[in-house]
Amino acid sequence: MAYLYLDDSKHHPHGFSLAAFAICDADPHEELEALFVECGFDLSSYEYKSSTAMRDNPGLQRLRNALRGFVSSKCQIAVCIVDGDKQIGPASLALLKKAILHPKLRGQRHQVFFDEGLFSSESRAKTIASEISGLDDCTIHFEQDSQRVSGIQVADLIAHTCGTMLLDALGKINKIVNVPNSGYDDGVEIDLGFEMWAGIRYSFLSVGSGADIDDEDFAVVLVEPHGLYIDPSASPEVSVAAPKRFGSMYLGCIH
């Protein structure tokens, strides 16, 4: 059984919204509770939000980095992209259908949790889900409170990260960050989109490319079959950029 949590990141000025699943092998709540405590926060009273200003808050930066580590070691990622936000809910269900066909997830029962506000109503969400074949192995919980369902807070971090990666791929941001312990000279500065990609590239739900071990593409895995859904509503610009950014991942050495 897998536990899947979904949240979204809206970027209306740039013509898209993105939703992401955090896919965990087990209910992550107890581990997240301990992680929050280690960073000086109480999960029962504090909710992590990527939109919170963190520049002058070392504690929040520490929590964000710990959650990034949790994603890298404990989660897999699947994303969908839409225009605006009206299709986020239906597109997320279409992504769910693709994701559970992954060899690791196929044929199992799953618990799936959607954040609040992704559908016009819970009844509408259930109607749409009932019309999609292939979701019978999922127990789906709509309109969930992210304060109480802590896995959604992890999905919030993933959606924000992937949204920033897509903004970078679209040429909408141009930010350079200093990265300590990068493997390069101290104080190296790299593109923000590259830094975010490097941190989560191993976590995307993917399958092998089928390349021979001597082929230069051997270190590339394919995300699009199960871990990426691009809604027909997406603009031509986004529909081109999203597969380039998320459709496959290079897992080889980048140092």
81-94 residue pLDDT tens:
999 888 999 999 99
pLDDT score of 182: 46
Q: Are 227 and 99 in contact (CB under 8 A)?
A: yes
Q: Are 176 and 191 in contact (CB under 8 A)?
A: yes
Taking residues 104-133, what's their average pLDDT?
A: 96
Name the helix (H) or strand (E) containing 199: helix 192-200
Q: Which CATH class is domain 2-250?
A: alpha beta
Query: Bigger pLDDT: 255 or 76?
Result: 76
Q: Are 231 and 87 in contact (CB under 8 A)?
A: yes
Taking residues 7-15, what's their average pLDDT?
A: 95
Residue type, 118: L
pLDDT score of 92: 98
Q: Which residue has the tokens 């074949």?
A: 133
pLDDT score of 219: 86
pLDDT score of 216: 58
Question: Is residue 233 exposed (0-12), middle (13-18) or buried (19+ Cβ within 10 Å)?
Answer: middle
30-69 residue pLDDT tens:
999 999 999 999 999 999 999 999 988 999 999 999 999 9
Q: Are 84 and 233 in contact (CB under 8 A)?
A: yes
Is residue 178 predicted with pLDDT exceeding 90?
no
Of 17, 5, 233, 30, the C-alpha closest to 116 is 5
18-37 residue pLDDT tens:
999 999 999 999 999 999 99
pTM above 0.75, yes or no: yes
- Ordered by start, the domain boundaries in the chain are 2-250
Q: How confident is the model at residue 186 (pLDDT cuts 50, 70, 90)?
A: low
Token representation of residue 173: 């941001």
- What percent of the chain stands above pLDDT 70? 90
Is residue 113 predicted with pLDDT exceeding 80?
yes
List of residues 6+ apart from 179 with CB closer than 8 A: 188, 189, 190, 195
Token representation of residue 192: 């923000």
d(CA 99, CA 225): 8
List of residues 6+ apart from 63 with CB closer than 8 A: 35, 36, 39, 40, 41, 48
d(CA 137, CA 107): 7
Of 232, 96, 246, the C-alpha closest to 164 is 246
